Amino acid sequence: MRRWRRRHLFEAGALAVMGAVIGPGCSRQDSPAPSAADAPSRTATPAPARTTPAATHSPTPTPTPEERQSVTASPEPDQQLLHGMSLEQKVGQLFVLFAFGPRADRPDHRNTELYGVATAREVVEKYKPGGWIYFSARDNVEDPAQVATLSNDLQRVALATGSKVPLLIGTDQEQGLVVRIGPPVTMFAGNMAQGASRDLADARTVAAITGRELRAMGIHQDYAPDADVNTNPANPVIGVRSFSSDPSLVADLTTAMVKGFQQDAKVIATAKHFPGHGDTKDDSHFALPVVSHTRDEWDRLDAPPFRAAIAAGIDSIMTAHIVLKALDPSGDPATLSKPIITGVLRGELGFEGLIVTDSMEMAGVREKYGDAEAAVRAIEAGADQVLIPPAPEQAFDAVLKAVRSGRISESRIDESVARVLALKSGRGIVDSPYVEVAAVKSVVGTSESRAAAQRVTDKTTTVVRNDAGVLPFAQPPKDVLVAGWGVAARKLGARLEARGAAVSVRATDEDPSSGAIADLTSKARGSELVIAVTTRAWSFREQRAMVAALVETGRPVITVAVRDPYDAASYDSATHLATYSHSDVAMESFVRVLLGEVAPQGKLPVAIPKNGVALYPLGHGLTWRSGG
């Protein structure tokens, strides 16, 4: 779908498409632009469509033909859809909830504490929410088939409850740093890695593969891509989740991903975090960040990716829990700001799609007004869906009370419900609320998708320094010490061993102790080569001390930043690379570059500052021919 004209849709008969879902007896079950030389591929091409052969085994019953037909069998008059819903049912559509556990009917005491009922099934029955979200950290994920089964079971409950409207199921599958469903789902290196490759076709491929796999598991909405422009190197919450510090590049890559999600995978994309979280020094999970940009700076730095996403027809935009006084001098977080959400996003930018809040559990939105009032103010501001209220019953009751008291008009509620229903209809959720569990294995984590992930990631590794001229190696080094941050160090060690190197791995925490550093330096003195792995060394002095101690041994040291590229300014090493991720594909790409199996193509998507000046400019990156 190109662009949602929701008001026109509803005036002209979009309700006709949705009218079928409320009939009785229906049992259906988330700087300047680089030069042309720095941007080798800025034109996207569509990703090829996939055919999905059916697998042979389903762990749960597949929806029956009668269940499928019931989606469109209702004789309910079209015009009565919205007005036929009770106020409670309408308000339910404005909330996105979750439940603990991997099964719809499995009791969990944490659900009882939060909702007053023990199972996901009962949460859906009690609140009749419009949306649902999955988290691996909340025990929703065991494997792709289980996720698909959970999706089907939740839809059966939703379609037998209340207004009988299917759930809009989402998750945060940004790739890279933020992933809610891990392997065998196909893993990519994340946004900043794509910023390093600058390849729009690859960015579209990442979104298309990610989206198809989500859709196969019954997930309709990805709370991605992150459209923030990371202009603050000390940003504690965005960083590599952003494509770049260059607004033009972020806009181009955001557009490519919107096309991959929505056109290729038929999954709802969600640009976040409006009006822009890229220049913050605080994490909105724990505080309320303040962005000091002027209106002109916001127009130039933060707005372009959101304007581009809207022009590309994005279905949904997520708000940020930040203060931006240039857009609203009240000091309210943007999520609760009518001048920002209704005035700027709706009015000035012309966005007609679904606006969803960032998680209402986060401290940035809770502190000023409290949980119940924050939910009311989010809807007053113009949000269509309230994501994960930490006090769901209080939030739900507060919105109902606000409508019944006249504080919020029911027509305002109807506007948001109409957008929710239009999106469910337009993205095929009403007609096809279920997925074929047996087919999941033929879509998720296929060899073709994994090969594509590696091919895409091989273009992202960035060689920042090669002052000693040691790269690429003519053959695998025989005696290597891999030291530093544990997860990545172990992955690198395994890949070098697989190529015949004799490898010792000394894994550390993010803040290695002086004793651990002493052990590393002792081992380094007897090694032919040292690879030092860092993650956010700019914020951990212990990692900086580790690198300094290893360099002082006099042995050849290669440093690799496996998260923020800003580590390059944190220590001195003659050979330094950036991978932007510690994912398997990123670590494999790093080893391939070391050994000359692929030529490095990555260019820094951000400038690396030191003492207020650019130590390495945006677009910097060394290369050589593959094979040495």
Q: Is it the case that residue 64 has pLDDT exceeding 80?
A: no
Q: Is it the case that residue 7 has pLDDT exceeding 60?
A: no
Q: Both 235 and 335 in a single domain? A: yes
Do the domain assignments include residue 299?
yes
Do the domain assignments include residue 539?
yes
Could you tell me the pLDDT band of residue 385, with boundaries at 50, 70 and 90?
Answer: very high
Do the domain assignments include residue 416?
yes
Which percentage of the chain shows pLDDT scores above 90? 84
Could you tell me the pLDDT band of residue 84, with boundaries at 50, 70 and 90?
Answer: confident
Could you tell me the pLDDT band of residue 477, with boundaries at 50, 70 and 90?
Answer: confident
Q: By mean pLDDT, which of 4-8, 97-101, 347-351, 622-626 is the weakest?
A: 4-8
Q: Which residues pair with 148 in a beta bridge?
A: none
Q: Containing domain of residue 14, as a range?
A: 6-67+107-126+144-178+207-430
Do the domain assignments include residue 199?
no
User: In the predicted model, what is the mean pLDDT of residues 41-60?
Assistant: 35
CATH number at residue 269: 3.20.20.300
Q: Both 531 and 417 in a single domain? A: no
Could you tell me the pLDDT band of residue 197, with boundaries at 50, 70 and 90?
Answer: very high
**172, 358, 384, 584: which one is catalytic?**
358
Residues 6+ apart with CB under 8 A from 330: 337, 339
**CB 371 within 8 Å of CB 390:** yes
Q: Is it the case that residue 330 has pLDDT exceeding 70?
A: yes
Which percentage of the chain shows pLDDT scores above 70? 87
Q: Both 370 and 470 in a single domain? A: no
Q: Cα separation of 583 and 587, whole Å?
A: 6
pLDDT reported for residue 47: 36
User: In the predicted model, what is the mean pLDDT of residues 275-300?
Assistant: 96
For the chain, give the mean pLDDT: 88
CATH number at residue 544: 3.40.50.1700
Q: Both 508 and 407 in a single domain? A: no
Q: Cα separation of 110 and 100, whole Å?
A: 7
Do the domain assignments include residue 576?
yes
Structural domains in the chain (count): 2
Q: Is it the case that residue 455 has pLDDT exceeding 50?
A: yes
Could you tell me the pLDDT band of residue 61, with boundaries at 50, 70 and 90?
Answer: low
Q: Cα separation of 175 and 97, whole Å?
A: 22
Q: Cα separation of 575 and 467, whole Å?
A: 6
Do the domain assignments include residue 183?
no
User: In the predicted model, what is the mean pLDDT of residues 445-474?
Assistant: 97
pLDDT in tens, 571-613: 999 999 999 999 999 999 999 999 999 999 999 999 999 998 9
**282, 283, 285, 572: which one is catalytic?**
285
Q: Is it the case that residue 77 has pLDDT exceeding 50?
A: no
pLDDT reported for residue 162: 81
Q: Is it the case that residue 73 has pLDDT exceeding 80?
A: no
Q: Both 302 and 369 in a single domain? A: yes
139 belongs to the catalytic site: no
Q: Both 168 and 227 in a single domain? A: yes
What is the token pair recorded at 270?
A: 């969600």
pLDDT in tens, 530-548: 999 999 999 999 999 999 9
Q: Both 464 and 610 in a single domain? A: yes
pLDDT reported for residue 62: 53
Q: Cα separation of 224 and 219, whole Å?
A: 13
Q: Both 413 and 323 in a single domain? A: yes
Q: Both 534 and 577 in a single domain? A: yes
| Residue 125 DSSP label | H
Q: Is it the case that residue 124 has pLDDT exceeding 80?
A: yes
Do the domain assignments include residue 151?
yes
Q: Both 497 and 425 in a single domain? A: no
pLDDT reported for residue 131: 98
Q: Both 486 and 561 in a single domain? A: yes
397 belongs to the catalytic site: no
pTM for the model: 0.88
Where among 381, 410, 430 does a domain terminate? 430
Do the domain assignments include residue 290?
yes
Q: Both 404 and 522 in a single domain? A: no
Could you tell me the pLDDT band of residue 475, with boundaries at 50, 70 and 90?
Answer: confident
